[in-house]
Amino acid sequence: QLADNEDMAIRPWMFRVARNLVIDAHRTRAARPLEVSGATWLTELRSDVDDIERMLSAMVIHDALQALTPAHREAIRAMFFADHTVQQAATALGIAQGTVKSRVYYGLRNLKAVLQERGVS
């Protein structure tokens, strides 16, 4: 019976020790900064750079679009930014489909020239 009494006295002590170890481990992890693996920070940095590149490209294109005539700019916006078909763009702009195609063609040509003038390839 003495052995049974010792087991009963040890069991709560073991649970208390285990609980304390878990709490200590949690507090240690919470107190330290998160560890970063080698690949993770490079991937995050690359995605940040990609986001910045995309933002800068958008700003350059937006600025270059301002150099186009309003008619060319509207046609390009309808086709590419609004993602319309030629027929949808023609309806939205109130012009013929052939006119949309022509304005997009010449607008893109002019946009390319404006971007080249600004050193963008």
Q: Look at residue 20 in the predicted model and tell me its pLDDT.
A: 79
Backbone angles phi, psi at 82, to 5 degrees: -90, -10
This prediction has a pTM of 0.57
Two tokens at 71? 């008619």
pLDDT at position 77, please? 93
CATH of domain 48-117: 1.10.10.10
Kindly give the confidence (pLDDT) of every residue in the chain, 121 residues in length, as a single tens digit, with 9 standing for 90 and above. 545 555 556 666 776 777 778 878 777 777 766 555 555 555 655 666 567 777 878 888 888 899 999 999 999 999 988 999 999 999 999 999 999 999 999 999 999 999 888 887 6
Q: What's the N-to-C CA distance of the chain in angstroms? A: 89
Q: What is the pLDDT of residue 96?
A: 96
- Where would I find the H helices in 1-121? 2-31, 38-65, 70-76, 86-93, 97-117
